Structure 1
Amino acid sequence: MSSESLAAESLAAAPAPVEVVHVSQEPPGSWDAAVYLCGPTPTDPEEPSWRSSAVAALRAAWAGPGRLAVFLPEPEGSGSYPPYAEQIAWEETAMRRCDVVLFWIPRSMDRLPGLVSNIKWGAWHDSGRAVLGAPPEAERMAYLLHFAETFAVPVARTLPEAVGAALRAVGGGARRTGGERAVPLVVWRSESFQSWYAPRRAAGCRLLDARVEWYERAASPDADPAWLLTVTVAPGDGAAPSVCCLLSAQGQGMLM
């Protein structure tokens, strides 16, 4: 077998890359899918964080073909947390960029109450990107489970099942670079977004940033979701970047 064939076989056999991004760290410049691990963090240093098990499950299950970025709001190893305002800013930016916000809430009111997780759930439960996981013994979950059912959020009762639901949501992903990373898959895959973006990208425009302002899931599997997106675009002719809003409703896109 030639060296080229051996290299190709080795590449094919290699696992798809999973890149973990801890709080305060910069994310990779491109990815095919991104998952944020949201939920309570143990305050007892003797109790391991559930996120290490979630990362291990993601590494084992991610089949690619490209890069999966996994965001953890915890420092790496024995590192320290950043100042509180910086922590919050990093978390909000990371969640905004992610394709799936995976909630794992093993709530115990005397040990792991997860009160901040309630607020984050309230912000993301209707985003089209949430997955809710909680063991059957988790306390005071009825309200969260009610809205998961209302908004068709996948619900899992074990951490591996929650990881599986997150990966089913992203599928094989889609490569996005730079500002494209701020467009989640639920919008990126829509026909109306691609109809707007493809000709601009072909003309040399660059998407510098994006923010989903509103989202409503599709009424049927073969329909597009509705969404409102604020985008920052650098024209291909070198002119100054511009900010505009894109609205897609009933499968029709509109520039505002």
Structure 2
Amino acid sequence: MAVFLPEPTADGSNPPYADQIAWEEEAMRRSDVVLFWIPREMNRLPGLVSNIKWGVWYDSGRAVLGAPPEAERMAYLLHFAEAFWVPVERTLQEAAGAALRAVGRGSRRTGGERAVPLVVWRSERFQRWYATLRSAGCRLLDARLEWYEQAAAPDGEPAWLLTIMVAPGDGAVPSVHRLLSAQGQGMLM
């Protein structure tokens, strides 16, 4: 398991702001779970950037929201957590537990596989497509989740759209494709 944690270096310094933002975005893109812990106190710790990050990830199938009961101005975030079945916990320990439950046993992935969200990686449609890709000698170099919609039923499969970069087995130039799984069908576009 890897945990991406944006903290200052041992000497207390931070990278340039643009570099920090780029690092955070890439780390979240490659994360199977994005845990939001928001102990908001408007006078001391407003956490306003958290609203933006939450707005990007709440409907991704990867979010967990944690906030103590006394956290201020959380009604909007809690509303969307409920609407999109995002786990909500009221202590940091419980929020971390919810994130670990979401990952479950996880799945070992390397290289470009790490960019495929766990909720997609675990889907039968993706695994079928990926097995065909590998049997042709191709490698998955990168993936970006463009759209995600959770399954309508707990035992159903989510709908998703991935933009993927594939290296052909013959050494040709890598190519970009879109892979869609929606309404019970999967296809390469």
Q: Which residue of 2 aligns with 1:235?
A: 168
Q: Indicate conservation of the 8 Å contact 1:96/1:211, yes or no.
A: yes
CA distance in 2, matches of 1:213, 1:79: 35
Structure 1 residue 167 displacement after superposition: 0.6
Cα deviation for residue 76 of structure 1 reads 3.2
Say if 2:178 is the partner of 1:208: no
Q: Does 1:141 align with 2:62?
A: no
Larger RCO (CA under 8 A, 6+ residues apart): 1
Out of 23, 37, 41, the position equivalent to 1:90 is: 23
Give aligned-pair identity as a percent: 82
Which residue of the partner structure matches residue 194 of structure 1? Answer: 127
Tell me the CA shift for residue 185 of structure 1.
Answer: 0.4
Q: What residue number does 1:165 align with? A: 98
Distance across 2 between alignment mates of 1:115 and 1:187: 30
Of structures 1 and 2, the larger Rg is shown by: 1
Deviation at 1:227, TM superposition (A): 0.3
1:174 and 2:107 correspond: yes
Secondary structure in 2 aligned to 1:71? Answer: coil
**Unaligned regions of 5+ residues in structure 1, if any?**
1-67
Contact kept? 1:180, 1:207, Cα under 8 Å? yes
Which of 14, 34, 39 lines up with 1:106 in the alignment? 39
Kept in 2, the 8 Å contact 1:187–1:227? The answer is yes
Structure 2 stretches lacking a partner, 5+ long: none
* SS class of match (1:227): strand
**C-alpha separation between the residues in 1 aligned to 2:4 and 2:12?**
16
Q: Is the 8 A contact 1:182 1:210 kept in 2?
A: yes
CA contact (8 A) 1:225 1:251 kept: no
Instruction: Give the distance between the partners of 2:153 and 2:67, measured in 1 at CA.
Output: 27
Q: Which residue of 2 aligns with 1:13?
A: none
2:11 to 68, 73, 78: 78
Aligned partner letter, 2:180: L
Matched, 1:251 2:189: no
Q: Could you tell me how far apart the structure 1 residues matched to 2:39 and 2:155 are?
A: 35
Q: State the Cα distance separating 1:236 from its structure 2 match.
A: 1.0
Distance 2:138 2:175 in 1: 11
Cα deviation digits, residues 73-105 of structure 1 (max 9, x gap): 112322411111111111111100100000000
Normalised by the length of structure 2, the TM-score is 0.97
RMSD: 0.9
Which contiguous aligned blocks of 4+ residues in structure 1 show a shift greater than 3 angstroms?
Answer: none
Q: How does 1:43-82 map to 2 (within 5 A)?
A: 68-82=1-15
Say whether the 8 Å CA contact 1:224–1:250 is kept in structure 2.
no
- Distance of 2:9 and 2:136 partners within structure 1: 41
